[in-house]
Structure 1
Amino acid sequence: MSAFGGTLNPGYAPIPTRKFGNPAPLGLCAFGLTTFVLCMANVRVRGVSNPSTFIGLGYFYGGFIQLLAGMWEMAVENTFGATALSSFGGFWLSFAAIETDAFGIVSAYGDDIHGLNTMLGIYLMGWFIFTFILVLCTLRSTVAFFLLFFTLDLAFMFLGIGKFYPDKTAITIVGGVFGLMSAFFAFYNAFAGLANNENSLFVIKPIPMPWNPVLKASRKNKST
């Protein structure tokens, strides 16, 4: 099956044999909207730096709904989509829990702000490592599909470094910018999976990476 960001299919998954809808756009929208809201605070839009408003989205849309979409990806035989959406659903649930006073995670550090920031940095760098694995799985897919995870990986890296050096706010702002780019590509891929000639005047045509095997095969056929 050809790689396509609208189905979160990097190119190796089989054609679904069950009659289910495509859960990828739902998961992508949940991820994109939650990321957008959080990263607007990271870039200090209108002077706001408190991201607490994202917590509701983190639990219910980016968290629970995206987790459901990930489970449905497993039902349509897309291991990559299931791993990505379920994992990031878990990310948003866990991050919202960190920001929720009732869990007592932040308060457990008391006055040890350095220890809290260090552990948050390690937490984000762990997600950087995980996302890097996903990036490797999209190198032969499409441009927008690859850029979604590549920009997200950079966002995790800079946001993690920003926690290690909290006095250097520019690092966190850079991470927020990459996060906003990732949110944009999430919405872009979601639209690609939703729009067709029957419901939209605009249909996105996937742009494969230069070394995409399907693109290389088509070029070979044209040359012969």
Structure 2
Amino acid sequence: MTEEKRANPAPLGLSGFALTTLVLSSFNAGLLSAQGEGVVLGLALFYGGLAQLVAGILEWRAGNTFGYVAFFTYGAFWEWYLFTAMGFTGSVTPQGIGLVLIAFGIFTLIMWFGTFRANLSLFLTFLFLWITFFLLGIGSINGNQSLIHAGGYMGILTAIVAWYTGLSQVIAESIGKKAPLGKAVLS
């Protein structure tokens, strides 16, 4: 008996992460008015949150610990963002949000070490993401809008690289080629 071919859940998780991150980062960078920031909430619930949680579960089922931990954690991050932004978690200070962002930055920094033997595209996604979290976290704690804007721009760059990482795999599979993701940092 042959095993049924299964889809790779990583492009779904990366795309959900990238699109939601791109939209929120556009607000953080100051490119869009903060009045429209509520548009991120639906994305945080479904595409950034639920889609990544599903991708994480599918990575677990495939035996990919890194993909499972990454997608499930960032899916949970977007669910936290949604609940916090909607006020379900009670009163939250900018310092509290900054602490959570820095904690996610620490998590991402540790996960980044796990990308050193992966492809360059994934390496850059995690590198840019931990920098994004630290900029946003420190900016939130200190009330420094310049750091928050820098974190927004870094988030946009993170989203672009994450989207490339995921969608290049979809395109490569559809045309029967290997995805051009760059060589591993460490061989």
Same fold (TM over 0.5): yes
Given that 2:45 and 2:78 are in contact with CA atoms closer than 8 Å, whether structure 1 keeps it comes out as yes
Q: Which amino acid is 2:150 matched to?
A: V
Output the TM-score relative to the length of structure 2. Answer: 0.91
Shift of 1:196: 2.5
Aligned pairs for 1:161-172 (under 5 A) are 161-166=138-143, 168-172=144-148
After superposition, the CA RMSD in angstroms is 1.9
CA separation of 1:85 and 1:18: change in aligned 2, threshold 3 A: farther
Distance 2:89 2:174 in 1: 50
* Partner amino acid, structure 1, of 2:67: G
Corresponding residue for 2:170? 194
Q: Give the aligned partner of residue 175 of structure 1.
A: 151
**Counterpart contact for 1:20–1:76, Cα < 8 Å:** no
- 2:10 pairs with 1:37: no
Q: Is the 8 A contact 2:118 2:185 kept in 1?
A: no
- Is the CA contact 2:128–2:157 (under 8 Å) kept in the aligned structure 1? yes
Pick the structure with greater CA Rg: 1
Distance 1:176-1:198 versus aligned 2 partners, 3 A rule: closer
Q: Residue 120 of structure 2 aligns with which residue?
A: 143
Residue 209 of structure 1, CA deviation: 3.1
1:182 CA displacement: 0.9
User: What are the within-5 Å matches in structure 2 for residues 75-90 of structure 1?
Assistant: 75-90=61-76
Q: TM-score, normalised by structure 1?
A: 0.77
Equivalent residue pairs, number: 184
Q: CA deviation at 1:210?
A: 4.6
1:142 CA displacement: 1.7
Where does the alignment leave 5 or more consecutive residues of structure 2 unmatched? none
Q: Distance in 2 between matches of 1:177 and 1:61?
A: 21
The aligned residue for residue 7 of structure 1 is none
Provide the residue aligned with 1:208 in structure 2.
183
Identity within the alignment, %: 32
How far apart in 2 are the matches of 1:197 and 1:63?
Answer: 25
Distance across 1 between alignment mates of 2:182 and 2:110: 22
5+ unaligned residues in a row in structure 1: which ranges? 1-16, 110-115, 213-224
Quickly say closer, same or farther: Cα 1:124–1:134, change in 2 above 3 A.
same
SS of 2:172's equivalent?
Answer: coil
Q: Quick one: distance in 1 between partners of 2:67 and 2:173?
A: 24
Instruction: State how 1:101-140 maps to structure 2 within 5 Å.
Output: 101=87, 103-105=88-90, 108=91, 116-140=93-117
Aligned residue identity for 1:195: I
